[in-house]
Amino acid sequence: MNVLVTGAAGYIGSHACKRLLAGGHRVVALDDLSRGHRRALELLDAGESLCIAEGSVGDEPLVTSLLAEHAIDTVMHFAALAYVGESVEQPLRYYTNNVAQGLALLGACDASGVERFVFSSSCATYGDPPEGLVPVPETCPQHPTSPYGWTKLVYEHALLGWSHARALSSRPVAVALLRYFNVAGADSSGVLGEDHDPETHLVPVAIRATREGAAPLSLFGTDYPTHDGTCVRDYVHVEDLVDAHILTMTSIKRGKAVAYNLGVGRGHSVREVIAAVERATGRRVPVVEKRRRPGDAVALYADASKITRELGWKPRYTDIVETVASAARWFEANPRGYDG
């Protein structure tokens, strides 16, 4: 397939490009490089199978040109602003970037006859699941608690409307909404890893805290009603995640719109992740305990049985220590991330 990957220079997008290229697909990697790393794409060294394009998904003429020039039949859409706290402070920026620019992308896809659209959505569309709905199924009511979550849900609805309209016009498309939970790890070859600025994800923050002279890890909340008092989350390995995207891309039929949760299906507490980092690195994670942060759910992990049942996807990385170790290896080899 000829695949346009948006947000291609980001953490998940770059891993997706790598796996797509390994599978024999041709990839156009689009990123505005505001938060991604061009170096991550350059390291793929894929020759003519990879075209790197710098620009915004909201630049409809640019996107239309790329779709036509490379005969794109499939879009894998990762590009988004994705900090929950930042979205609370700057909601209009998030709606402009994640919704308005995303709609421009969709307009170009519609005009160009794109056949498949795989959307990187989020468990943030569920908000705080009702009691008894954890692990979270796809049928869980969607009530986001942040502007970030709302932007993902609004875009889901736009895609469903587009899919319905295209079916009525006898130009059916295949649409997939992939809602995932916490993503961690690095690719097994050691080429790619996770490099955000600022970094907010627990695994890389904990790994960095093990370094000499580094600031301790802030542990927000130790009095939750869990087995050790800390929040519980689902951590899916980034390679498993992108494999699910590619499997969905190649499996969904035109005229269908599907939604799948992606996760390991069980949770790990913050303290368990810290312990996994200490086992993987052989170093202690210094911790400063702080009060709870507003809005943090007690436990949030996926019921991913639907995609297993319908497509046969199962995560290969089910041991949190193994997932953390893959991230730690990349950080050891790249202490300054992609900057050297």
Residue 193 belongs to some domain of the structure: no
173, 274: one domain: no
256, 321: one domain: no
Helix axes 270-281, 320-333, angle to 10 degrees: 50
Is 148 a residue of the active site? yes
pLDDT for residue 128? 87
Residue that has been written with the tokens 């695994």 in this structure: 203
Domain with 295, as residue range(s), is: 202-233+266-339
Distance between CA atoms of 300 and 304, rounded to whole angstroms?
A: 13
244, 272: one domain: no
Length of the chain as a residue count: 340
Q: Is the pTM of this model over 0.75?
A: yes
171, 50: one domain: yes
pLDDT for residue 53? 98
Catalytic-labelled residue, pool 126, 148, 224, 260: 148
pLDDT for residue 296? 79
**Do the beta carbons of residue 15 and residue 47 sit within 8 Å?**
no
Residue 192 belongs to some domain of the structure: no
Sequence-distant (≥ 6) Cβ neighbours of residue 185 within 8 angstroms: 203, 237, 238, 239, 317, 323, 324, 326, 327
pLDDT in tens, 262-315: 999 999 999 999 999 999 999 999 999 999 987 678 888 999 999 999 999 999
Residue 12 belongs to some domain of the structure: yes
20, 152: one domain: yes
pLDDT for residue 147? 94
pLDDT for residue 297? 81
* Per-position b or e across 150-169, b if 16+ CB within 10 A of its CB: bbbbbbbeebeebbeebeee
110, 250: one domain: yes
256, 122: one domain: yes
163, 213: one domain: no
- 3-class secondary-structure state, position 231: coil
Residue spans of the chain under pLDDT 70: 295, 340
pLDDT for residue 340? 67
pLDDT for residue 27? 98
How many domains, in total, are found in the chain? 2
